[in-house]
Amino acid sequence: MVKYNFEGKSYEIIITDEWDRNEQREEQILRDFKYLESISDWGLIKLRITNGLWEGWLKHIGEMERIEPTTNETKFW
């Protein structure tokens, strides 16, 4: 299962039509998302998520768990 997290939501990338290459294609889509993050192309990520949900190769699987930051009681200075 290949997962992608964006804006607090978790998605599963599901490819079923490429037979023995399904996992490779899922990993490639994940790399594409990560590349778009690296160049800060947030609009294209949102568009791909919308299209993926509509076309069925992406499934919303829930909200990401929010990890609260821990406080460090020691003072720096």
Q: Is residue 50 part of a domain?
A: yes
SS3 68: coil
In-domain check, residue 55: yes
Mean pLDDT for all residues in the chain: 86
Mean pLDDT of 50-68: 84
Q: Does 54 fall in a domain?
A: yes
Q: Is residue 23 part of a domain?
A: yes
Range of the structural domain that residue 26 is part of: 2-63
> How many structural domains are present in the chain?
1
Strand 9-13 relative to strand 2-6, pairing:
antiparallel
DSSP letter assigned to residue 66: P
17-50 per-position pLDDT tens digit: 878 888 899 999 999 999 999 999 999 999 999 9
Whole-number pLDDT of residue 77: 54
Between 74 and 62, whose confidence is greater?
62
Q: Would you say 2 and 12 are in contact if contact means Cβ atoms under 8 Å apart?
A: yes
pLDDT of residue 75: 55
